[in-house]
Amino acid sequence: GRMSRKRQKDILNQIKEHTTLPRQKVRIGRTPIIENAWKVFECVRSQRHRVEPVLEVEYYNESGSGLGPTLEFYALVAQAFKDSTSPRLFLEPPNGLLFPQAYHVDFQKVAPTLLAKPKKDTRANGPAGSAFASRSGLLRAGRAHNSSEWTAPERDERHPLERTFESKLYKHFKLLGMLVAKSLTDQRLMDLRLHPVFWRLVLSDAAREVDVKRQRPGGGGHFPILCPFTDEPNKDEEEDEKKGMEARVTLSYEADIMQVSPSFYNQLQKMKEMKAQGFDLEQLCVIFTVPGPEPLYELRDGGRDMVVTRDTLDEYLQLVGRAMLYSGIALQVHAFREGFELFLPLEALLSFQPVELATQLIAGGDAADNQYWTLDHLKTYIKPAHGYQRDSAPFRYLLEVLSELSPKERRLFCQFATGAPALPLEGFGALKPLLTVVVKETPSPQSPDRNLPSVMTCTNYLKLPRFTSKDVMRERLLVAINEGQGSFLLS
């Protein structure tokens, strides 16, 4: 059944017990952020540590360090994944939930260097992994492993196939898996809500894995093809049984398409209605391809020149469903798994429902969740200090303004104040340390109303001028959270 909030909190608190882990600092440029993130994780995996260190990120030409820049690193990479157009990684997200765009790919064009794995199982490495897995009772004892046996490929081992579309797609999703796992072990929020259907495919044994051996000159590998049904019915089955199975398969596909792409699902239903009413479908000019960008995914040979008709609609529905939900995303799902398990075993997530992984555990609280933006919650978990008391007018103005922010403004405030665009699952009460509001002195004779709030994200300090009214507080705070993004100039 669904895991209780208390159980979630207990597991997360177990992870937090490893706060004495060593820290590994890396310094990067802000652009290109995805390529720089890949280099960061190559560095992390190539270092030999007795236990897996907590990652801390700093930026070139910026003096900020600690939690804030690190949280922003995860936020920046997450946004880059969502914005990526070369390749486009996800469908247009329903309710912000991301599901991979399907592509017809040649598995043999994935560079062998991207498939490099540790010599032995490094999953659940050190206390980070054991805190998430073993102490939660989710894994057998003894799964922790010394990371010193990991060998990263050197620069001169880069393979020419790394320039192919398939390698680029694989690399993006392997990096995504590493980021998600590392964010969990390090207790960092990552503003990326992967669709529950995607998590179901990543985790579920119901998706039958067929190992397809792909031999290459100088290297090999295998990929699981995700498909809960056989590609071809048994030839000995009766014709009516074949049709019944195909109908069930199509209904299963359509149910998932309704979740991952409601707009496309509505188009399919409209086509079925038109067929039932006797209309010709040729006028719609729908061709045998998966909707999406180049490279065009043809469902049949010559599919881009083949229009769907009343006679071929059922075949189209089955083929497009299989492509969108299984065969067209097999590479992405496999790459995500491979990246994730470099830091954490997927078994550690089996106690969570896919919807919990999609909406809570990784991305934190929803900005539309009002329970963490009530005056009572804010008064309880935001502390005044160093010049402010709970009855100080500017402090009261702040809490009132925060309680009235829109979901979009809440995300901006969280990004400004903490480095992450979302709150942890328990709201402001889960920030460590708690958000503290202190006086920001204004040089005389300047008016404090001309000043702006500033932050120290490493300690969750909000420096607030002594604004003279609630209206001024709102105006100055909105300016700060909209314009004060994208750099850490003071530590």
Q: Which of 43, 227, 414, 458 is catalytic?
A: 458
Alpha-carbon 39 to chain mean position: 19
CB-based contacts of 94, cutoff 8 Å, min separation 6: 259, 260, 261, 262
Element (H, E) at 246: helix 239-260
Q: Where are the beta strands (DSSP E) in 328-435?
A: 383-384
Nearest to 481 by CA among 429, 414, 424: 414
Reduced to 3 states (helix: H, G, I; strand: E, B; else coil), residue 32 is: coil
- Please compute, for residue 475, the number of CA atoms within 13 A of its CA located in the half-sphere on the CB side: 10
Nearest to 186 by CA among 379, 420, 447: 420
Residue 332 near residue 100 (C-beta atoms within 8 A): yes
Provide the token pair at 196: 């529950």
Reduced to 3 states (helix: H, G, I; strand: E, B; else coil), residue 29 is: coil
Question: Buried (b) or exposed (e) across 261-284, using 16+ Cβ within 10 A?
Answer: beebbeebeebeebbeeeeebeee
Annotated active-site residue 458? The verdict is yes
For strand 454-456 and strand 461-464, is the pairing parallel, antiparallel, or unpaired?
antiparallel
Which residue type does 279 have? Answer: F
CB-based burial of residue 214 (10 Å sphere; 0-12 exposed, 13-18 middle, 19+ buried)? middle
For helices 262-276 and 313-325, the axis angle rounded to 10 degrees is: 170
Residue 332 near residue 169 (C-beta atoms within 8 A): yes
Catalytic residue set? 458
